[in-house]
A = this chain, B = another copy of it.
Amino acid sequence: MLPMKSRYALKALVFLARHQADGPVPVAGIAAAEAIPVKFLEAILLELRNSGILTSRRGPTGGYQLRVEPETVHLGDVIRNLSGPMAPLPCLSKTAYHRCTECVDEATCAVRLLMADVHAATLRIVDGTTLAQLVARVDASAVGEAEGQSERCRPEQGPVSAKLDFID
Contacts and interface: CB of A to CB of B under 8 A. Distances in A.
Interface in A110-168: 110-111, 113-118, 120-129, 134-135, 137-138, 141-142, 145, 152-153, 155-156, 158, 161, 164, 166-168
Given A75-B114, A129-B114, A1 B89 contact: yes
A108 B166 CA distance: 23
Give the size range of A's interface with the partner. Answer: 35 or more
Contact of A95 (B76, B118, B121, B167): B167
Contacts of A138: 108-110, 113
Interface of A: 1-2, 4, 7-8, 10-11, 14, 33-36, 75-76, 80, 85-90, 93-96, 100, 102-104, 107-111, 113-118, 120-129, 134-135, 137-138, 141-142, 145, 152-153, 155-156, 158, 161, 164, 166-168
Contacts of A156: 156, 158
A155 B158 contact: yes
B168 A86 contact: yes
Nearest to A9: B111
Contacts of A88: 1-2
B110 A14 contact: yes
A144 to B, nearest CB: 11
